[in-house]
Structure 1
Amino acid sequence: MASDSILLVMDMLNDLVHPDGMGGKSYVPLMQDRGVYDATELAISKARAAGVMVGYVRVGFSPNYAECPPGSPVFSKARDNGVFKLGEWGTEVLDRFAPQPGDPDIIKHRVSPFYATKLEPLLRAQGIRRLVLSGVSTNGVVSAAVREGHDRDYECVLLEDCCAGATADEHDHALSGLRRFAQVTSAADVTF
């Protein structure tokens, strides 16, 4: 692949975006209403057709939740609810967006896709300078990726129609703050 871009598909996990996952009551209806599933498929297809790497970022913890911060307002209930457990259905990428052999799999234990992960070494080794970002939640991993990517000198492109918050307000509020740090566009309009 001779591209300086990567499409990151972040936390599009069964636990969050499958109707039978824990996020089925919050993310799924909003994603269906806004066409996020179809837009994400389009973005992945366009990236692959252009020879752009597609990387997958997944939140997950060991079966004993050793990396799970007990005092975190975001993750403290993961153990109690049996979610985000690596090696189980919930942390697999939704089938519609399934990785292909060789696609990078970046496991994270916090909100940020950069914190204590292999993302930065991968980007540097591959000569990536442009991050095209999608996923859930807009105010979580997407926001963290935009802000940290910006501060690490990457060009950040946010695919608005490939993201969702748990509520429309969360999504809209996050977007309003991210426009300073990233180009905001759509799956149909992005150029790879």
Structure 2
Amino acid sequence: MDKTAVIVIDMINTYDHDDADLLIPAAEAALPAMVDLLDRARRHDVPVIYANDNFGQWRSHHGELLERALAGPHADLVRPLSPDEDSLFVVKARHSIFYETPLSYLLREQGITHVVLCGQVTEQCVLYSALDAHIRHLKVTVPRDAVAHIHEDLADAALRMMGRNMDARITVARELRF
């Protein structure tokens, strides 16, 4: 039987970057599905891991990233998804949640063989993370309503690629059972 973890990608965010105006509406649309997914995962004792960009702030830690995002103008997108006391947190610097992070080790130590990816950006960080999970022989699920995009056409193509080329299960959040 597979042990699952939900991984929240780049949702601790100030939205002070290029393409934020295109991303924010998609993040707002995906927020309810993400909140429900995290609530259900936590109720079933499924590990929730945040993998978040450090935005080039190499002296920061997850608490500072969260404080900065909650103090920003888009705190309404961050607050409902804030890590709880049981959440794990991995800081990343590039697109993939695996690139130069301890995530592979963490997943192996926890016995996790299946990852559910939610967050942003579908056609960038989610796509590259799904590929890196696949090449590590992890099962991948992506709930299409719990990921946010910048360009809808590229996100649709990315989801098709994840399903076809990476054997990812593409579903909707409410269909996931823990």
Q: Please say which of residues 157-166 and 87-96 is displaced more in the overlay.
A: 87-96
Kept in 2, the 8 Å contact 1:60–1:91? The answer is no
Alignment correspondent of 2:25: 29
Alpha-carbon distance in 1 for matches of 2:140, 2:108: 15
Deviation at 1:30, TM superposition (A): 2.5
| Larger Rg, first or second structure (1 or 2) | 1
Give the alignment partner of residue 42 of structure 1, picking from 36, 46, 49.
Answer: 36
Alignment correspondent of 2:10: 11
Question: Are 2:159 and 1:183 aligned?
Answer: no
Deviation at 1:24, TM superposition (A): 4.3
Alignment correspondent of 1:57: 51
Structure 2 unmatched ranges of 5 or more = 72-76
Structure 1 unmatched ranges of 5 or more = 66-84
Alpha-carbon distance in 2 for matches of 1:64, 1:4: 32
**Pairing 1:134-153 to 2, within 5 Å after superposition:** 134-153=118-137
Give the SS at the match of 1:117: coil
Q: Which has the higher helix share?
A: 2
Question: Are 2:154 and 1:164 aligned?
Answer: no
**Pairing 1:98-113 to 2, within 5 Å after superposition:** 98-113=82-97
Please give the TM-score of this superposition, normalised by the length of structure 1. Answer: 0.78
Q: Which amino acid in structure 1 is aligned with residue 38 of structure 2? A: I
Alpha-carbon distance in 2 for matches of 1:154, 1:140: 19
Structure 1 residues 124 and 28, CA gap change in structure 2 (3 angstroms): same
Q: Please say which of residues 170-179 and 125-134 is displaced more in the overlay.
A: 170-179
Q: Please say which of residues 53-62 and 88-97 is displaced more in the overlay.
A: 88-97
Deviation at 1:165, TM superposition (A): 1.3
Give the SS at the match of 2:140: strand
For the aligned residue pairs, the C-alpha RMSD in angstroms reads 2.5
Alignment correspondent of 2:74: none
Alpha-carbon distance in 2 for matches of 1:8, 1:117: 14
Structure 1 residues 91 and 59, CA gap change in structure 2 (3 angstroms): farther
For residues 52-102 of structure 1, what are the alpha-carbon distances to aligned partners after superposition, in whole Å with 9 as ceiling and x for unaligned? Answer: 00010100145479xxxxxxxxxxxxxxxxxxx957614998111010113
Structure 1 residues 87 and 31, CA gap change in structure 2 (3 angstroms): closer
Kept in 2, the 8 Å contact 1:62–1:86? The answer is no
Q: Which amino acid in structure 1 is aligned with residue 176 of structure 2? A: V
Alpha-carbon distance in 1 for matches of 2:117, 2:126: 7
Aligned pair count reads 166
Please give the TM-score of this superposition, normalised by the length of structure 2. Answer: 0.84
Q: Which amino acid in structure 1 is aligned with residue 123 of structure 2? A: N
Structure 1 stretches (4+) deviating beyond 6 angstroms? none
Give the SS at the match of 2:14: helix
Structure 1 residues 122 and 64, CA gap change in structure 2 (3 angstroms): closer
